[in-house]
Amino acid sequence: MQENICQKFLQATYLKNCQNTKKSQALPPPAKRPLFADAVLIALPEPELLPDKQINFLELIELRSSVRQYSTAYMTLKELSCLLWCTQGVKMGLPGGSTIRNVPSAGACHAFETYLYIQRVEGLRPGLYRFLAPEHALVFLDTADNAEKSLLAGFKAANMIKDSAVTFIWTARLEAMAYAFGNRAYRYLFIEAGHVCQNLYLSAYTLHLGVCAIGGFYDEELNAALGIDGQDEFAVYAATVGKI
């Protein structure tokens, strides 16, 4: 049964079976996800103001590791800004609204949204946030009191979420990738989640922060906690971050 499911997925996403896309038909691209009318943007420290760090690249690669226990110390807003810049930072805008970012993406689609469950970041009230990459800003979505129970129910390792300063949750907007690549978009989305999370690991190490990637979550519960439908947009990956 498992083999049949895998084979069906692979065949459905063969490149030769995914050529007739909306982009190839010259249909308009999907609209950008709108903000709530009353959304208030919280500016993050600008990337050019973030401190540059000298690193030994081979040491960085060798010492990358998953850290599951964190101190109760607070992260700074600059540290959070740096992590977001390294994982989804926009380097350049392109015609038509596409962007070049600090991680690779097929067709420069960049179909990910970054949600943040923040518990210990200086200057930010605890709660659920969404990162706006083009603006390099946050939008507050919900208080910690409201978000905690539903978010924790979405994770198998809930204690790691409780102990972290910040939990990154990446969701994929399917149409943003499928517009250009059809069903093959699913392959690219899962690959690209790895690019994003690895950048989180490497940038966190330079800041003396610990990271642990999380793939063990209950899809329906986590999607519901984030207020997304699980079809057009769905959770793909997560990672806890904290001081060590």
For the domain 69-243, what is the CATH code?
A: 3.40.109.10
Q: Which two tokens stand for residue 235?
A: 């959770």
Domain ranges of the chain: 69-243
d(CA 14, CA 239): 30
Query: What is the model's pLDDT at position 112?
Result: 97
Collapsing DSSP to helix, strand or coil, 175 comes out as helix
| pLDDT recorded at residue 202 | 95
Q: Is the pTM of this model over 0.85?
A: yes
Q: Tell me what pLDDT residue 2 has.
A: 64
Q: How many CA atoms lie within 13 A of 213 on its CB side?
A: 16
pLDDT of residue 46: 87
Q: Three-state SS for 127?
A: strand
pLDDT at 157: 87
Q: How would you write the pLDDT of the chain (244 residues) with one tens digit per residue?
A: 666 899 999 999 999 999 999 999 999 988 887 776 678 899 999 887 777 778 899 988 998 999 999 999 999 999 999 999 999 999 998 887 789 999 999 999 999 999 999 999 999 999 999 999 999 999 999 999 999 999 999 999 889 999 999 999 999 999 999 999 999 999 999 999 999 999 999 999 999 999 999 999 999 999 999 999 999 999 999 999 999 9
| Cα 93 from Cα 37, distance rounded (Å) | 24
Q: What is the pLDDT of residue 34?
A: 74
